Structures are given as C-alpha cells and as structure tokens.
Structure 1
Amino acid sequence: MNAGTRPAAPAKAGQRSQAVERFEAVVAGGGPAGAVAALVLARAGRRVLLVDRHTDRQGPSPFKVGETLPPAARPLLHDLGLWPGFAADAHLRCPGTYASWGSRRLHGQSHLYDPNGHGWHLDRSRFDAFLRDAAVAAGAQLRKGDVVRHVTDAGEPRTLIREQGLVKELYCDWVVDATGRRAVIGRQRALRRRQDRLVAVFALFSHRLPGRRTEDVELRTLLEAAPQGWWYTARVPAGRLVAHLTDADLTDPALRTAEGFLGAVAPTRHIRARLDGYDPAHTPEPRWTAAHGLRLSPPAGPGWIAAGDAAIAFDPLSSQGILTALHTGARAGRAAHLCLSGETRALAAYTAFLDRIADAYDRHHAEAYHQEQRWRTHAFWQRRQRSP
C-alpha cells in the first residue's frame, strides 16, 4: 500500500471501499503566505498538499491588486533561497514614494539609502506562481481546488477539499489557513477582529493615447489624501494602477462605473497628473476589494494555524501586506513542522510574533492618519483621528 494512503472505513453493502490519502499538512491557499508555508514544510521533509483555486499558467493572468514589496523583503527572499529566481523575474523596481499627505505639496521618500536597496512593483500573478512553483520543486503537491473544512471532532483529523465541484476527504494532521481575509478555517475556530470599514476601488490603466511619444516612466508610488479618503497610484508591469481608499458606507455609487471613477479622480491634483497620456476611452470598469485591518484571535490552535491575511491583514497605507504574508507563511510553516515533531510551544511563539507585528502596525497606523489634519470634520478622517 502507498505510504500516502490508508484504507477508508469498511464500506457498507453496495458501496466500494476507496483509499483515502494522508498528508502531514494541507495548506489552504496558494498566495504568498500559503506558498511559502508549503515550501518550508516540504523542505523540512513533510508530506504537504498545497490547495489553491488559481493554479493554471495558461493564457494571460488577470490583474491582482496588492503589488508593493518593500526593500525589507530582500533578506527574507535570500533566506528562503528565492532571491536568484525573483531577481531574474519581470518586476519593476520601486525607488521610493511621493505623498501629498498633510499638505498639497508632494513630499518624497527615497530608497536610495535603504540598506536593502529599492523595493518592487510586482506582477502579482507571476509572483504568486513563482512561489507556488518553488513549493512544488521542494516536494509539495499542488492541486486546483478549495479547502472547505478541517474536522477534528471525531477520530483522525480530516480535511475536506473541493475539486472540480466534488468534495473529497483527506487525512491530515495539520492545516495552514492561508485563504486571505476569508479565513476559511480560522473563522470556524477563532474571533475575527475588524479594524474599520475600509474598501479599495481600483482600476488598471494600460492604453496610452495614440501618438504619445513619451512613456510612463515614473516608478515611485504616489499617495494623495482627499476629503473622503485617500488615493494611490503605482506603475506596475501591466500598466498604471489607480486606487481610491474610503469606507464602505461613504462610497459614491458612481465609483462603480468607469465614468464615475474618472470623475472622482478629477478633483485630485497629483493622481490626475499621473494619468496624463492614458486614453480615458479605455478606462476599465473599477473593481472593489476589502481593505480593512483584520486580526484573528487566536491565530492558531491544535491542528491548525493561520498565515497571511487570514491571520493579520493591514490597511494598504502600511505597504506591508505582502512582506507580512511572506514572514507569517514562513513562520507558520516552521511552527506546524515543530508541532508535528511534538514541540507544541511553537504555537505560543508564533502568537507572540504576531502580537509584535500587530503592536507596531497599530502604532504606525495611528501616527500616519494623525499627520493628516486638513479634513478633521469629514467622517473618514474623524474615525481615524485618535492621538498616536
């Protein structure tokens, strides 16, 4: 019998007995956190299954928001042995930021003197696929599907996954929840603490006006505060991303259309200038995504551990989302490996690690929003104007 399978329970009359696969760990979600967790577990010699709904490499990948990787990611990529492959990929460098925050003037911050060099504007789909490929090369199995549930209430722990519309049961000692803000496993076992009602409305501009001789070569991220929230834009491999951040109950319904999105951009000063040269006739329909801070408490328990946005999610103002996903994925994979070896104290260490991240995030979040005082009477800013 294959070491990775075991017989199912005795079949009832008229039923056929089937072998049930066994894994030491199943990782739910193949984004940065999940892929790195699977990579760490596989390198530790664990039999691990990585389950993700986006595994196809055929054809152009849809644009995925969440594109900034700060310079601090460089040493982590080195430690994971991923730096050579990442450096050779087609991501754009990010030399710093400009911000109109607290005044109409732009204030610049350069990565020139950062010891880790510049940051990056990622092709997210390409980056995520690169990390999944690294996990597979290390020995993880990859399947297209969704993890539905992890069952520990009777008998051996089991994980239910949905593949091609059918739900399949696997024996699994540990599960890593890297399903993003959905927290498919964590929400069944822990409390999710939501910070606010922040949403992002974004559009990718990729068509230049005919006859334009100049290219869009500005690579710094640009932020601009506004009465009902704030905007940012970044040059990414696929074009120029423009996003508006505001609270869900403050959004203008017109933002759901391309015309309404352009109309909302018009009163801005610096964001509007970055769109000079892009053809407004090809403005895509805006897309929406949740952007609020989120914390899972606790982030782990017997047989399960959360990583990435499933464990802790940030306001995009921090620009730390992907970096934190990489760090928590690596830590969660290591903690699951240690627990499989009988070192259950690893969960307490992982929780303490997340507590330190959350404390630093809360402090910096309050400081950043407190710096903008021009619209203190507007609802968006009133909600965030507590002293740091």
Structure 2
Amino acid sequence: MTHPDAVVAGGGPAGAVAALVLARAGHRVQLLNDGGPGRDGFKGQGGFKIGEFLPPAVRPLLADLGLLDGFLASGHPVSTGTYAAWGSARLHGRSHLFDPYGHGWHLDRVRFDAFLRDAAVAAGAELRRAVVLDRLDGRLIVRERATGEVTELPARWTVDATGRRCVIGRRHGSRRRQDRLVAAYAVFPDGDPEARTLVEAVADGWWYTTLVPAGRLVAYLTDNDLVDPALRTPQGFREALSRTEYVRRRVAGLGPGSTPVLRWAPAHGLRLEPSAGPGWVAAGDAALAFDPLSSQGILMALHTGARAGRAVADCLADEGRTSAALADYTAFLDGIATAYRSNHAYTYDQERRWPLSAFWQRRRTAGSPGRA
C-alpha cells in the first residue's frame, strides 16, 4: 500500500482503534508501529508496559467497536476496586460491586495492544513496522524498523497517535503542560496477591501499587523539581518505599537486592491546541494526556482514537465536511478536558494533611498550565 488514504502513526490503543475505524469505513489505511513494547508514555521493562488499568466504563465502547467478546475471552485479570489512603491516614476501600458496568481489569498492556492491532489488520488495515519522524507538506518521513531506512510516505490524512512524543501535532500546535509530575517505578517479582490497586498520599507526592503480569508494580509520583536525589537510585527508592504505611506491605522481602531496575517517566497532564488541522488529527496522549491518578488514560485513548478515526473517515468521504468534522472532534476533546480538569482539582483538593508541602500547595493553587 504505497499510497494509503490515511496513515496512523503509533500502534498503541488510540492508533489501533483509529486504524480499525478507518479500515471498516472502507479506506486504505496503514498503521505504523515501531514494534517496541513501551514506546509511548511510560517505557517498558522486560516486555512490560505501564498503563495497566481499564475501568468498567469501557464496556459500551468495546461493544460498539465489536471488540468486547474478544477482549473478555482474552483473560485479563479482574480488578474489583481500589484502596486509598487519601485525605486521611485511614485506608478507604472502593469496590466495583455496585458499578453499573461491573468490574474493571488489570491489563497485560503488551497483549492488549497487540489484540487491538490484530483487530485493525483483520478489518483491512496494513500494519507496517516503522516509526514516524516528521510530517512535511503532506508527506510523512518514516524510518523502517527492520532496515533503518528513512523513506517518504504520501498520505491524504494522518492520525498522530505517537503518545507524549506528539511527533506530528507539536509541529502544528502548542502543548499546554498541567504541572511537573513525574513517575519513578519498578516491578517487583513477588508480593501480596491482593488484586485491588492501592494509592497512598505522602508529604511530597503519592504512591501506588498494583498487580501486573510481570509481578507487582510500585510507582512514586512527585514533581520533577522536588525529587530527592537519593530517590534516583535503587537503594533510595527502596528506602523511600519502606517509609510508606501501606504500599510497603504489598511488597515481599524489601531486602538489599529486592529492587529491580528503576525507571522514570513523565506523568503530567498535557493538552495539544489545536488538536486537528488540514490533513491531520491527534489522538490519545498526543492530543490529551492525563495524570495517572485519574485511571482514565487507556479509556480516553480508546475514545479519542475511535473519534479521530471517524473524523478522518468523514473528511475522506466528503471534503466539504472537513471543517465541520474537525470542529466536532475538537469540541469532543474540549468536553473531555473540561471534565478532567474539574475532577483533577476536586481529587487533589481532598488531601490537606500537609499544608506547607510545595507539592500539595501547587495543586490547590494551580493557575494556568505552562507550555510543554
């Protein structure tokens, strides 16, 4: 397929679903995936890709995409709820028992992303192992994964699903950064088998831990300028973890050799403005990235990918509808962003135990987001 109607850059959830929607609409579409397990957002460790929770509310969307039965048959572990020490020292539980959509899931992200790409290919999309480097005058500059060769790829429309890298969108718009949040994380090979995700606020940030296929994920989130230098070492991370009240209990054997490779990743909210223009749209984290506290990142990637695919399909079907289709997509993103900001502010405002902490003060007095 040397002249596709549309090229989707990025093979994560947003990109795979966008390609699926475009292919089902009868368009020639290439889905570019670089083949690595953790290229977008948090980076992988031993085949593990962080971004591991899918909330119950995803059911209607997966059903609408014709993917629900296949997803349910794939056997991702069930998530029955969360525990949180947030706003008080006491641990509070929240169950999915009374959620109208049922339980959520702890995802094997590598397998889940592959499932979505396979669905796009089954619908008629061509999967190409390549990474987008740039977009110039309607031509994509791509590097082939297997050979390293750099080539040009013409396409009438492009979906930027390159995650926080936002390779295409950042050339056409500006990104507004919400704060300075970063994540330090490690995967421990064993620990408490408790399946509920646990969140614990501390003086300069917050921790969370959850089960993943590779073991038990433990992550600490704080602002990049507030990071204690000692925390950047495995020993410092282990010592900080040992000072938590609840998270440390989920990790077995916090001995000198118990910390795997420590990883770092950006975790701040981002918004690309504009998120669409002539010949391109952004989806997933490239358009709108969330603070992990929301637990909505994968859900929103799926929603924005589906809507981006429909917007491009409408533009390809009728050029006269291009402006209206892009305006509708932008309005859709605006609605998500408004709800996210409100929920984000409310949640952080619930924690008031450390009034002198710079981390918590910033989130109670947050002004306009800065440029990324």
Percent of aligned pairs with the same amino acid: 64
What is the TM-score with the length of structure 2 in the denominator? 0.92
1:41 paired residue number? 22
The amino acid that maps onto 1:347 is L
The amino acid that maps onto 2:274 is P
List aligned pairs for 1:232-247, cutoff 5 A. 232-247=208-223
Q: Which of 76, 94, 99 is the equivalent residue of 2:61?
A: 76
Gaps of 5+ in 2: 38-44, 368-372
Provide the C-alpha distance between the structure 2 equivalents of 1:136 and 1:279, rounded to a whole number of angstroms.
46
Provide the C-alpha distance between the structure 1 equivalents of 2:262 and 2:349, rounded to a whole number of angstroms.
29
**Structure 1's 330 and 249: CA in aligned 2 closer, same or farther, altered over 3 A?**
same
The amino acid that maps onto 1:198 is L
2:335 paired residue number? 356
Once the two structures are TM-superposed, the CA of residue 258 in structure 1 deviates from its matched residue by 2.0
Provide the C-alpha distance between the structure 1 equivalents of 2:237 and 2:253, rounded to a whole number of angstroms.
17
Provide the C-alpha distance between the structure 2 equivalents of 1:306 and 1:146, rounded to a whole number of angstroms.
16
Gaps of 5+ in 1: 5-20, 209-215
Q: Which of 125, 136, 150 is the equivalent residue of 1:167?
A: 150
Q: Which of 278, 286, 289 is the equivalent residue of 2:265?
A: 289
Tell me which moved more, 263-272 or 199-208: 199-208
Residues 98 and 106 of structure 1 are in contact (CA less than 8 Å); yes or no, is this contact kept in structure 2? yes
The amino acid that maps onto 1:200 is A
What is the TM-score with the length of structure 1 in the denominator? 0.88
Q: Which of 239, 260, 276 is the equivalent residue of 1:300?
A: 276
2:33 paired residue number? 52
Provide the C-alpha distance between the structure 1 equivalents of 2:254 and 2:46, rounded to a whole number of angstroms.
22
Q: RMSD value over aligned CA atoms? A: 1.7
Q: Which of 145, 167, 173 is the equivalent residue of 1:190?
A: 173
The amino acid that maps onto 2:163 is G
SS of the equivalent of 1:269 reads coil
**Structure 1's 290 and 300: CA in aligned 2 closer, same or farther, altered over 3 A?**
same
Q: Does 1:365 align with 2:348?
A: no
Once the two structures are TM-superposed, the CA of residue 274 in structure 1 deviates from its matched residue by 1.0
SS of the equivalent of 2:365 reads coil
**Structure 1's 43 and 278: CA in aligned 2 closer, same or farther, altered over 3 A?**
farther
The amino acid that maps onto 2:9 is A
Once the two structures are TM-superposed, the CA of residue 55 in structure 1 deviates from its matched residue by 6.4
**Structure 1's 278 and 265: CA in aligned 2 closer, same or farther, altered over 3 A?**
closer
SS of the equivalent of 1:235 reads strand
Provide the C-alpha distance between the structure 1 equivalents of 2:203 and 2:131, rounded to a whole number of angstroms.
40
Residues 190 and 251 of structure 2 are in contact (CA less than 8 Å); yes or no, is this contact kept in structure 1? no
Provide the C-alpha distance between the structure 2 equivalents of 1:338 and 1:366, rounded to a whole number of angstroms.
35
SS of the equivalent of 1:281 reads coil
1:255 paired residue number? 231
Provide the C-alpha distance between the structure 2 equivalents of 1:84 and 1:237, rounded to a whole number of angstroms.
21
Q: Does 1:115 align with 2:96?
A: no
Q: Which of 121, 125, 131 is the equivalent residue of 1:136?
A: 121
**Structure 1's 61 and 135: CA in aligned 2 closer, same or farther, altered over 3 A?**
farther
The amino acid that maps onto 2:344 is H
SS of the equivalent of 1:22 reads coil
Name the structure with the higher helix share. 2
2:40 paired residue number? none
Q: Which of 199, 206, 214 is the equivalent residue of 1:230?
A: 206
Residues 367 and 387 of structure 1 are in contact (CA less than 8 Å); yes or no, is this contact kept in structure 2? no
Once the two structures are TM-superposed, the CA of residue 168 in structure 1 deviates from its matched residue by 1.0
Provide the C-alpha distance between the structure 2 equivalents of 1:279 and 1:117, rounded to a whole number of angstroms.
38
Residues 294 and 344 of structure 2 are in contact (CA less than 8 Å); yes or no, is this contact kept in structure 1? yes
Residues 158 and 171 of structure 1 are in contact (CA less than 8 Å); yes or no, is this contact kept in structure 2? yes
Which 4+ runs in 1 deviate beyond 3 A?
Answer: 276-280
The amino acid that maps onto 2:234 is A
Once the two structures are TM-superposed, the CA of residue 207 in structure 1 deviates from its matched residue by 3.9
Q: Does 1:88 align with 2:73?
A: yes
1:15 paired residue number? none
Deviation readout 1:281-301 (Å, 9 max, x if unpaired) = 232021011000000001000
Deviation readout 1:215-253 (Å, 9 max, x if unpaired) = x33111110000010000111222111100000111122
SS of the equivalent of 1:328 reads helix
2:110 paired residue number? 125
**Structure 1's 61 and 174: CA in aligned 2 closer, same or farther, altered over 3 A?**
farther
Q: Which of 308, 319, 322 is the equivalent residue of 1:332?
A: 308
Residues 95 and 219 of structure 1 are in contact (CA less than 8 Å); yes or no, is this contact kept in structure 2? yes
The amino acid that maps onto 1:48 is V
SS of the equivalent of 2:84 reads strand
Provide the C-alpha distance between the structure 2 equivalents of 1:83 and 1:305, rounded to a whole number of angstroms.
26
Tell me which moved more, 41-50 or 274-283: 274-283
1:180 paired residue number? 163
Tell me which moved more, 141-150 or 178-187: 141-150
Q: Which of 352, 366, 374 is the equivalent residue of 2:353?
A: 374
Once the two structures are TM-superposed, the CA of residue 256 in structure 1 deviates from its matched residue by 2.6
SS of the equivalent of 1:135 reads helix
The amino acid that maps onto 1:166 is E
Q: Does 1:217 align with 2:196?
A: no
Residues 190 and 252 of structure 2 are in contact (CA less than 8 Å); yes or no, is this contact kept in structure 1? no
Residues 238 and 254 of structure 2 are in contact (CA less than 8 Å); yes or no, is this contact kept in structure 1? no
Provide the C-alpha distance between the structure 2 equivalents of 1:100 and 1:335, rounded to a whole number of angstroms.
41
Once the two structures are TM-superposed, the CA of residue 255 in structure 1 deviates from its matched residue by 2.3
